[in-house]
Structure 1
Amino acid sequence: MRLSNDEALDLIKNAPLHELGRLALERKRQLHPEKITTFIIDRNINYTNVCWVDCKFCAFYRHAKEADAYILSYEEIGKKIEELIAIGGTQILFQGGVHPKLKIEWYEELVKFIATHYPSIDIHGFSAVEIDYIARISKISTREVLARLKQAGMYSMPGAGAEVLSDRVRELIAPKKVDTAGWLRIHKEAHEVGMKTTATMMFGTLETDEEIVRHWEHIRALQDETGGFRAFILWSFQGANTELARLYPEIKKQSSNRYLRLLAVSRLYLDNFKNIQSSWVTQGSYVGQLALLFGANDLGSTMMEENVVAAAGAKYRMNSEQMIELIRDVGELPAQRNTNYDILRRF
């Protein structure tokens, strides 16, 4: 029987943590009986830090005239990709700020450059927020933006920009971002043009438990319709250096207990998502490891480079050897995957 919203809410509020862990691990074992935990070797490349969206929870963005604003050159991007290839990497998570002046032709040429010169690298790129703005400034539809970027060589789209899919919350923390309906529509369009995506959620700002469950309901319903999400990734708001934490002092750092509780319920509720990723980048390596016993089957990325979350105070780092050790330590079998969750190498 599929978990209802009320049942999910009851689990969040009332279930003992150890019981949630047991149920989530049992569900994970049904989906992944071979006990393989995957990870990917990739690099986050932020092609620009210029952004007009001014999210209150972001400490990374700059305005165009600030001294440390940048747009990376092809040469700089190429050097970063070559360094990734040298350590066995297969994917770049490619995102900016939302630059106020860059149109579709600029993005097409950049994606073509990467796809042509580095065909072994999957471009897991941009976000619904970037796609929305590229469409507006280029005076074309978001579907056309997606189709043209796919044609240029973009492989898949991450779920960034979802935060919590509640317009009440979005209006408070990122009022310039595409709304809930827009985020869902752009992901649906990506699926329809043949591009897989991921779904994400950032909790720990101003949302209620009911809004968390409603977020899950939105993505579960779209997954029922399209089957286009590869994975779900949950992480907690990182408040250091952010305007949001200054504006709302009632926002508190989320506990490991809270993270594991929500992770476990998401595994139970999102019954049509095969893959759920552990967020060791925000939780640290050992809670990230514990997440494997609370429903996660993927340890995510080694993150050769990460700038956005680091700017907000999260400084955790881990290489592939450490990941392999953590996975083995909980009795799972480590394996390197690609963007599509195909196994490339077992250890």
Structure 2
Amino acid sequence: MDAGRKREIEDKVRAGDRLDRSDGEALYASDDLAWLGALAHEVRTRKNGNQTFFNVNRHLNLTNVCSASCAYCSFQRKPGEADAYTMRIEEAVRLAKEMEPSGITELHIVNGLHPTLPWRYYPRSLRELKVALPNVALKAFTATEIHWFEKISGLGADEILDELIDAGLESLTGGGAEIFDWEIRQQIVGHETHWEDWSRIHRLAHSKGLRTPSTMLYGHVESPRHRVDHVLRLRELQDETGGFAVFIPLRFQHDAAGDPRNRLMNQPMATGAEALKTFAVSRLLFDNVDHIKCFWVMHGLTTAQLALNFGADDLDGSVVEYKITHDADRFGTPNTMTREDLLTLIRDAGFQPVERDTRYRVIRDYEGPDPARRDVPQPIDA
């Protein structure tokens, strides 16, 4: 990108003017990572100052049995496979109650598209979990799962969402988005939920007062233009509803263990530099969403810290056993981070930690970085 084009984009960003498709593609074409990071950090600081958000959450997957066979997925199992499982509701409640002493404020629930579980299993699960953990927000189900519930129940998403909200649902999850462009989607997605239904379901959720996350799975067979298109679709929907709380770029994980379910297992993962570029461009393009999250599980801790200087202002949470990634990932990302671990990670990156709830309301502000720590070399986490 020549100096004139850089100045043109800088001027638009600083004037608060919206970047367009050609701007997004030009940003991805730039090899000046420091410039991209500085410009994205300027926007991040304008929106969120020196704050970096996190929450104390846990993940629960009720079943890994799935009727779909997505090319990127190592999590799904078919009925009868040795390691396929489906939790009884009482088992899910027991596991959730074991999480309570860690002080969680959110339980994140996603599952496979089970071919024989009845629809009523899902609202009943939420009701029982909410009784067991009344002060914990239930963030559950992708738009793909809601679409599946329509198929197995004969109900519409409007009625399904009403019943789930009545059972305790506070937010959908952002999964199932992957890449919306059909050219790419038909190569990687093994279910029937595409942009039209994904956007329909999130639009409906927003109309009912839910704030939801939005995501993008990058670093597989797509190109930068597909990432730009993906973000612009979400930006347009956000113009309409204002219901997205956060955007989360998710780095594709190849399967280092060689699981044949992951048909992209030989696809190289995006480099750290490509990840940082993706965060920066996302922050610059997606101008009407308040937060950009780096899901540290999919990026590693060092890249996550760097991402905070490339547009990201949220590190997700304590997580614990995120099977959907760890069933593929073998490069050493930890299973869990405690509250204290996250505070240290954020402070050592130079930011002030802020604990939040599912709707991004502040639970607690913490002290910022300790300058004294900079006087002594600190170990680098993987």
| Contact 1:104/1:145, CA 8 A, preserved across alignment | no
Q: Secondary structure at the match of 2:308?
A: helix
Q: Secondary structure at the match of 1:123?
A: strand
Q: Which of 292, 309, 314 lines up with 1:276 in the alignment?
A: 292
Distance 1:303 1:45 in 2: 9
Does the alignment pair 1:46 with 2:65?
Answer: no
* TM alignment of 1:139-218, pairs within 5 A: 139-218=154-233
Structure with more relative contact order (C-alpha pairs < 8 Å, separation 6 or more): 1
Q: Which of 328, 331, 338 lines up with 2:357 in the alignment?
A: 338
Does the alignment pair 1:259 with 2:308?
Answer: no
Q: Secondary structure at the match of 2:53?
A: strand
- Structure whose CA Rg is larger: 2
| Contact 2:68/2:191, CA 8 A, preserved across alignment | yes
* TM alignment of 1:69-148, pairs within 5 A: 69-148=84-163
Distance 2:148 2:244 in 1: 22
Aligned to 2:326: 310
Distance 2:67 2:83 in 1: 15
Distance 1:177 1:22 in 2: 40
Distance 1:322 1:244 in 2: 33
Q: Secondary structure at the match of 1:155?
A: strand
Q: Secondary structure at the match of 2:98?
A: helix
| Contact 1:2/1:269, CA 8 A, preserved across alignment | yes
TM-score, structure 1 as length reference: 0.95
Gaps of 5+ in 2: 1-16, 367-382
Displacement after TM superposition at 1:14 (Å): 1.5
Distance 1:58 1:38 in 2: 28
Distance 2:265 2:121 in 1: 38
Gaps of 5+ in 1: none
Name the aligned partner's letter for residue 238 of structure 2: Q
Calculate the aligned-residue CA RMSD, in Å.
Answer: 1.5
- Map Cα deviations across residues 294-338 of structure 1 (whole Å, 9 max, x no partner): 111111111122111000115412332222112112321112111
Distance 1:273 1:243 in 2: 37
Q: Which of 6, 20, 23 lines up with 1:7 in the alignment?
A: 23
Does the alignment pair 1:227 with 2:242?
Answer: yes
Name the aligned partner's letter for residue 78 of structure 2: H
Does the alignment pair 1:327 with 2:346?
Answer: yes
Change (3 A) 1:245 1:46: closer
TM-score, structure 2 as length reference: 0.87
Name the stretch that deviates more: 238-247 or 3-12. Answer: 238-247
| Contact 2:259/2:265, CA 8 A, preserved across alignment | no
| Contact 2:63/2:114, CA 8 A, preserved across alignment | yes
Q: Percent identity?
A: 34
